[in-house]
Structure formats: C-alpha cells, structure tokens
Amino acid sequence: MVQILNRGSIRPASPRLQRRNEQRRLEILQAAAKVFRRRGYAASGMREIADELDSSAGNLYYYFRGKDEILYFCQDRALDLMQAAVGEALRSAAPYAKKLESVIRAHVRIMLGELEGATAHLEVDALPEELRRAVVGKRDAYEHSIRKLVAAGVKASEFEPCDAALVTRAILGAVNWTARWYRPDGAQPVAQIAAALSDYLVRGLLAAPQAGAAP
Amino acid sequence: MVQILNRGSIRPASPRLQRRNEQRRLEILQAAAKVFRRRGYAASGMREIADELDSSAGNLYYYFRGKDEILYFCQDRALDLMQAAVGEALRSAAPYAKKLESVIRAHVRIMLGELEGATAHLEVDALPEELRRAVVGKRDAYEHSIRKLVAAGVKASEFEPCDAALVTRAILGAVNWTARWYRPDGAQPVAQIAAALSDYLVRGLLAAPQAGAAP
C-alpha cells in the first residue's frame, strides 16, 4: 500500500482530532471532485480547490501533499465504496439479477454523486506511477469481483451463458461513460439514471424464461 | 465544415494523382493511429508517425498540417464509417435487433481496426477548438441516429420500452470503453469481441416473447 495516510502530525492524534481531520479531508475531496469536474483535472490546482472551500491552499497542504494525492484519495475512496457494494451483493441471498442491479446502481451513484465526481474517477492516467499502480490494483480487484458475480449467475442458470469478462467490461464501460455526458444540472436525477442503466444492463444477461421449447 | 482538404497543390490534381494522394493520406492515418495507441496522443509527434512509415516528418507535412489535423482526420473518417453503417442499418429491411447488432459490430470493428485505432477515436478533447467542434457535431449526429434506431425498435414493439437516449449512451459507453482494455496482441480477435458485445447489448433491449401471461 501507499504510505500517505496520517500525515500532518508526528504523534498519534486523539480520536476526536482524528475524526475532525477525517471530516476535513472528506470536505476537501468533495470540493476537489467538483472542481475537477468543472475545470478538468489538468486545469485545476490547489488554489482552485481552496477557493471552492473558501479556504487557503496552505491549509489544504496540511491534509494533502498536492492535487495528485487528492485525486488519488478521490479514486481510492470511490473504489472502496464500490468494492463494498459488490462485496455486500456477493454475500446477500438475493437472486443474481438483484445483486448485479445493486452493484450497478451503487457504481453510478458513487460515480456521479456529489462526493466522488465522475471526472475524478476516470483520471487514473494523471496519477504519478506509484499512486496509479495502487488505484489500478483496486480497480482490477473490483472488476474481478463483478466478473465473479456474473459468472456465478451464469453457473446458477440465472444468466445466459456468456463471456463474463467481456460482459463485465461492457457494464463498466456503460457506467463509466456516464462521466462523459452527465451534467449535475441536467434534468435526470442520478437515481433515475442508475435505475435505467441497471435495468438495461441486467436484462441483457437474463436467461430466457424456461417456458417449454419456445425459441 | 472545416476547410482542410486538398492542400498541397495549387491547381486541381489529376484524378490519378488525387487517388495516390488519398492513398498516402490513408497510410499516414493508419500509421498515426498505431503510434497514438502505442505512445498516447500527447507523447506522439510528427517525427514518431514518420518513423512508423519509414518516412520523414517533412514528407508528412505535405499531406497534413500537423498531428492535430491527423487526429482530426482519424476521428472524422471513423465517424464517417460509423455513420455509414448506421445509415445502412436504418435503410435495411432487417429486424431492429439485426440492425442494431450490425451497427454495434461495425463500431467495434472501426474502433479497434488497424486503420482507425481506438485511442484516436476518443482523444476528442485534444483537438483545437474548431476541429473539436466539427468532430463533436458528427458524433452527436451519429449518436442521434442510433437513438432513432432504438426508438424505432421500441415503437415496432421489437424492443422493450426504454429511455432510448440513455440506452444509446450505455451502448456507446460499452463499445467505446474497449479502447481502455483492448490490446491488439491479445487473445480475442476483434470480430469475436464485436459479436459478444453486440449480442449482450441487443439482448438487453429485446421484448420478452409474447407467450401468454408468463412474467
């Protein structure tokens, strides 16, 4: 793992201070995600993120080493939330269609939600090599979990036989692509986009009802 | 339209010379797509493209003003081919599922094919404003055509009622995302990827067979 947590204090902080620090870091990630989305990552600096928070760039440097590290934590946090959603789905007793639906909906909500910000989620190539490797590792693990879910649904005859790896990538492509067209001020609420996407993407997997010899 | 065609000669060229120029331009686009894919657009220059062709950068400048213009023509050509495929599908008498299938397969083939190169297709933000606008206009027209096809399939009761705009974006996301993971030296041939993706993406639209009151 990348050692960039818990900076800014030499001795361990009190639990209360730790909570406050964590809260402040979240606020910064939230503001940064907005700024990255609005200006693009390349054109965003610590100054713009600080402005969004009515704060100073100096204050931000207390929490993060720079905008690379902020981008890294945006992606890291988004992936943790996504992986948690797929883990929960894998453990649940719901049918595979419901499991996958909940994973897709969570992904869209996290991608487009206020905190994470779609742009931040995709700018993986902008990260310095060490941070990029850490994010890519988490991404691969997440993709692998979805593939496992799809393959298990096929094995349980809930889903049509398919290339689980390819279908997983198609699903990830469809949901990640929202970053290219979603506008926070658009007419469609995130929940509606998430529901429509998951309905469509899960339907493509469902095994035809076993109703005799109908084609 | 952007006026950048037919440079390099003051008086109209003979048909034979025009054909030869056109052929050479295609070769350059092909080589450039490969270089962009391998090195990334930002790290590619006229020099690298010329090297790929065993030519000189000076020779390339006879055909194209610079790498921006080459990128523009890669995208322009890909979109022309894609739009032609969707136009053909819209005019054909095939069922809507078959029409959409052929559009998706053509898109993947064009994206991943030797000539166009997936990277070149997606680097739209790298273009200078005037060229970018032209490409975005063609992209919008293409997306609109697919949306029309999906909506017509719904109207004909071949497809389930759905948000045609959203489904179209999901389809485009799934196929464009191939650029992120496809490797020309990978195990899966392009035709196989195209077939598996189109099967999955069309299945998600198909209306349930009208076999009585089964759920």
* SS3 per-residue string spanning chain A: CCCCCCCCCCCCCCHHHHHHHHHHHHHHHHHHHHHHHHHCCCCCCHHHHHHHCCCCHHHHHHHCCCHHHHHHHHHHHHHHHHHHHHHHHHHCCCCHHHHHHHHHHHHHHHHHCCCCCHHHHHCHHHCCHHHHHHHHHHHHHHHHHHHHHHHHHHHCCCECCCCHHHHHHHHHHHHHCHHHHCCCCCCCCHHHHHHHHHHHHHHCCECCCCCCCCC
Summarize the confidence of residues A62-67 as an average pLDDT.
93
Answer whether residue B214 shows pLDDT above 50: no
Instruction: Show the domain range for A107.
Output: 68-203
Tell me, what's the pLDDT at B3? 43
Tell me, what's the pLDDT at B149? 97
Give the position of tokens 């207390």: A62
Neighbouring-strand partners of residue B159: B206
A160 inside domain:
yes
Q: Does A80 touch chain B (CB under 8 A)?
A: no
Summarize the confidence of residues B38-49 as an average pLDDT.
89
pLDDT digits (tens, 9 = 90+) for A88-129: 999 999 999 999 999 999 999 998 886 556 677 778 888 889
Q: Which of B163, B172, B175, B205 to mutate to test the interface with A (most CBs of A within 10 A)?
A: B163
How many domains are there within chain B?
1
- C-alpha of A107 from chain center: 6
- Domain containing residue A148: CATH number: 1.10.357.10
Tell me, what's the pLDDT at A186? 83
Query: In chain A, how long is the greatest CA-to-CA distance?
Result: 71
Pick from B40, B169, B188: CB nearest A181: B169
Answer whether residue A4 shows pLDDT above 60: no
Tell me, what's the pLDDT at A113? 80
ipTM rounded to 2 decimals? 0.86
Name the amino acid, one letter, at A42: A
pLDDT digits (tens, 9 = 90+) for B89-110: 999 999 999 999 999 999 999 9
Tell me, what's the pLDDT at A154? 97
Q: How many residues does chain B have?
A: 215
- Nearest CA among A84, A45, A210 for reference residue B209: A210
Contact A200 B174 (CB under 8 A): no
| Percent of chain A clearing pLDDT 90 (strictly above) | 64
Whole-Å CA distances, A36 to A26, A43, A45, B65: 15, 8, 9, 32
Q: Does A100 touch chain B (CB under 8 A)?
A: no
B150 inside domain:
yes
Classify residue A152 as exposed, middle or buried by CB count within 10 Å of its CB (0-12, 13-18, 19+): middle
- Which tokens go with A166? 């390819």
B48 inside domain:
no
Contact B177 A178 (CB under 8 A): no
B4 inside domain:
no
Answer whether residue B13 shows pLDDT above 80: no
Answer whether residue A32 shows pLDDT above 80: yes
Answer whether residue B1 shows pLDDT above 60: no
As a whole number, the mean pLDDT across chain A is 88
Answer whether residue A190 shows pLDDT above 90: yes
A52 inside domain:
no
B170 inside domain:
yes
Summarize the confidence of residues B65-72 as an average pLDDT.
92
Query: What's the whole-model pTM score?
Result: 0.87
Q: Does A191 touch chain B (CB under 8 A)?
A: no
Tell me, what's the pLDDT at B11? 67
**Residue A214 pLDDT class (50, 70, 90 cuts):** very low
B149 inside domain:
yes
Tell me, what's the pLDDT at A2? 44
A154 inside domain:
yes
Contact A162 B208 (CB under 8 A): no
Tell me, what's the pLDDT at A208? 77
Tell me, what's the pLDDT at B114? 62
- Which tokens go with B121? 């297709």
SS3 B159: strand
Q: How far is B171 from chain A (nearest CA, A)?
A: 6
Summarize the confidence of residues B115-125 as an average pLDDT.
70
Summarize the confidence of residues A151-157 as an average pLDDT.
97
* Distance, CA of A203 to CA of B31 (rounded, Å): 40
* Distance, CA of B197 to CA of B188 (rounded, Å): 12
Q: Between B209 and A6, where is the model more confident?
A: B209
Q: Does A130 touch chain B (CB under 8 A)?
A: no
Classify residue A126 as exposed, middle or buried by CB count within 10 Å of its CB (0-12, 13-18, 19+): middle
